[in-house]
Amino acid sequence: MSSIRQDNFIAIIDCNNFYASCERVFNPKLNKKPIIVLSNNDGCVIARSQEVKDLGIPMGIPVFKIRHLVEIYDIQIFSSNFSLYGDISNRIMSIIRSGNSEIEVYSIDEAFVTINPRYTDPVEYATKLRNKIYQWTGIPVSIGIGKTKTLAKVANHLSKRGIGKDNVCLIDSKNDQNLLQQVKVHDIWGVGRRKQKFLKINGIYNAYDLKLANPQWIQKHMTVISRHTVDELNGIKKIELEYENATKKSISTSRSFSRMISDITTIRNAISSHASRSAEKLRSQDSFVSSIGVYLCTNRFRADLPQYRRYINVQLPIALNDTSGIIDAALEGLNKIYKSGYEYKKCGVILTKLIQSNEVQQSLFHPRREKDEKISKSIDKINQAFGADTIRYAVQGQNESWSIKREKLSPSYTTNWNEFLSVET
DNA sequence: TCTGGGGTCCTAGGACCC
DNA sequence: TCTGGGGTCCTAGGACCC
């Protein structure tokens, strides 16, 4: 069995320009027009349609730096609408899952599958899947296929450059030299800026060079992860698919403020809200937390202002999952790191050392907070039924002067009853 | 004026112990 | 003044991903 599996092909299905494509699905007037989608606070470009990529506008650039291009090319701008993107993503994942049980949802717009051997022609399987996803959702996808996740990712990269056919590209032992030589090391999954630099210094420029590199040498001078990359380029599986419903090992919630904030009262509101949201996420995967991190930082782009950033971990005597206990611990951390006299731009809460509820130990000195746990669960139910933050804690504050700007939001076509498309005749 | 958010994994180095 | 060495455990921070 395992020897058969070792030999199966892996595919990655990757949505093209996903957020921009989602905006187009319900607004066909946007077809062929340049589109960008912005981060929270309408700050940075986090998604671009092909037209925008062709203009050379990079990922992550702050929108104020490209105002002139927006004018000239009539670029359509959207605030990010994650409830819409999440809903379309779920539909696409269901389509993939219906034909293949071994699926890893890798991100909102990507999934790996182990191609079932009953599909004797992987390219044909992938082409049919791609067409089906487009017909059923309107989202175009590209599919890369290889013996390992890394090779599938490389093939996917090539498919977006028009190599292969119909946005499907397969790498196997017959064509890999030719294809890998066309891929720069920086375009390999797991090779970032720093590793790229090291590899180039050592004469390794493309994916084929890296395939031929000595794995022991790579591990000694880089990391074990990089060694796995070399093995995977050679068709040896080192990175397994992670199947559904893996519980998270850390949970974080953070936001930049829409303006600079100095007073601790407002920051306490923000930290309490992040702690509360983190606690909800924690309960939704049935976990408890035993260490709570809090951080606070000034605007690193404002060289003219004094800078300050700090992170602190608060160890809990007993694992918790109730909102009030988690807020209390987060505020305790905040008190230790807050310094007056700075203009703050961002803060956040990170829950680490998570354990599953059935592993929580009883303690004589710190009895479980069963009453608080029950209250939190009741609040979750109410908020799920009537909308987020229907019930919230007083310390989260009333006015959200610190919270985000979303001035270019598209309607929630699929998830909000009030915003369904209506057809006028 | 205006610069995202949420993850995973690895490693160097400190703390501590014998 | 001189001032071991090896092991484990933990954590902050970096690199990378989407």
- Which has the minimum average pLDDT: A25-29, A38-42, A313-317, A383-387? A383-387
Measure, in angstroms, how far nucleotide B15 C1' is from residue A352 CA: 21
pLDDT at A350: 97
Measure, in angstroms, how far nucleotide B14 C1' is from residue A252 CA: 26
- C1'-nearest nucleotide to the CA of A254: B5
Q: Which nucleotides of C are covered by protein (CB under 7 A)?
A: 11-18
- Count of structural domains, chain A: 1
- C1'-nearest nucleotide to the CA of A106: C18
Token match 């994942």: residue?
A93
Burial A190-212 (b: 16+ CB within 10 A, else e): ebeeebbeebeeeebebbbbbbe
Q: Are A11 and A126 in contact (CB under 8 A)?
A: yes
Q: How far apart are CA A158 and CA A203, in angstroms?
A: 22
Query: Is residue A402 scored above 80 in pLDDT?
Result: no
Query: Is residue A424 scored above 60 in pLDDT?
Result: no
pLDDT at A4: 45
Asked, for residue A20, whether it belongs to a domain, the answer is: no
With vertex at residue A291, the alpha carbon angle to CA A286 and CA A295, rounded to the nearest 5 degrees, is 115
Residues A80-106 have pLDDT tens digits of 999 999 999 999 999 999 988 799 999
Residue A275 domain boundaries: 251-396
- C1'-nearest nucleotide to the CA of A255: B5
Closest CA to A317 of A305, A308, A329: A329
* Protein side of the strand C interface (CB < 7 A): A 106-110, 153, 188-196, 291, 293, 311, 313, 315
For residue A70, give both structure tokens.
Answer: 């927006």
pLDDT at A401: 72
Question: Where residue A322 falls among pLDDT bands split at 50, 70, 90?
Answer: very high
pLDDT at A421: 61
Asked, for residue A272, whether it belongs to a domain, the answer is: yes
Q: Are A192 and A229 in contact (CB under 8 A)?
A: no
Query: Is residue A419 scored above 60 in pLDDT?
Result: yes
Q: Which residue is nearest to nucleotide B1 (CA to C1')?
A: A64
The CATH number of the domain where A344 resides is what? 3.30.1490.100
Instruction: Work out the end-to-end distance of chain A between its first and last CA atoms, rounded to an integer number of angstroms.
Output: 58
> What angle, rounded to 10 degrees, do the helices at A82-99 and A122-137 form?
140
Asked, for residue A311, whether it belongs to a domain, the answer is: yes
Residues A175-218 have pLDDT tens digits of 999 999 999 999 999 999 999 999 999 999 999 999 999 999 99
Cα A60 to chain centroid distance, Å, stands at: 14
pLDDT at A337: 95
Asked, for residue A415, whether it belongs to a domain, the answer is: no
Q: Which nucleotides of B are covered by protein (CB under 7 A)?
A: 1-11
> What angle, rounded to 10 degrees, do the helices at A323-337 and A264-284 form?
140
Asked, for residue A318, whether it belongs to a domain, the answer is: yes
What is chain A's mean pLDDT, rounded?
A: 92
Asked, for residue A150, whether it belongs to a domain, the answer is: no
Token match 């971990």: residue?
A313
Asked, for residue A32, whether it belongs to a domain, the answer is: no
pTM score: 0.92
Give residues with Cβ within 8 angstroms of A358, minimum separation 6: none
Q: How far apart are CA A150 and CA A145, in angstroms?
A: 10
Measure, in angstroms, how far nucleotide B8 C1' is from residue A248 CA: 10
Query: Is residue A19 scored above 90 in pLDDT?
Result: yes
Asked, for residue A402, whether it belongs to a domain, the answer is: no
